[in-house]
Amino acid sequence: MTVRMVAEERGIPLESATTRVVLDRSVEDEAVFEYSVELHGDLTDSQRAELLDEVSTRSSVRRTLSKRLSFRSV
């Protein structure tokens, strides 16, 4: 979602994006989200780098999951 918004804002010809996420729980008390993003379209190397950089900084999912989490029963 973020990469599509950024591409549209900047006139970058992104056709589609595929994201894969794997949750690594191999270390006790730690959850690591390993992800890859594939960008499809007639993009320059510079445009690909720009979009991938934005994914790492603007993604609302990443920002949420990077914060301290707690659970509260209501």
Task: Tell me the pLDDT tens digit for each residue of 13-49.
Answer: 999 999 999 999 999 988 898 989 999 999 999 999 9
What is the rounded distance in angstroms from the CA atom of residue 74 to the CA atom of residue 3?
Answer: 35
| Residues 6 or more apart in contact with residue 6 via CB below 8 angstroms | 12, 50, 51, 54, 58
Mean pLDDT in the chain?
A: 91
Q: Is 15 within the bounds of a domain?
A: yes
Q: Is 11 within the bounds of a domain?
A: yes
- Looking at the structure of the chain, the number of domains it has is 1
Q: Is 3 within the bounds of a domain?
A: yes
Q: Which domain holds residue 31?
A: 1-43
What is the rounded distance in angstroms from the CA atom of residue 38 to the CA atom of residue 48?
Answer: 9
Q: Strands, DSSP E only, in 1-66? A: 14-24, 32-41
CB neighbour class for 3 (10 Å; exposed up to 12, middle 13-18, buried from 19): buried
Q: Is the pTM of this model over 0.85?
A: no
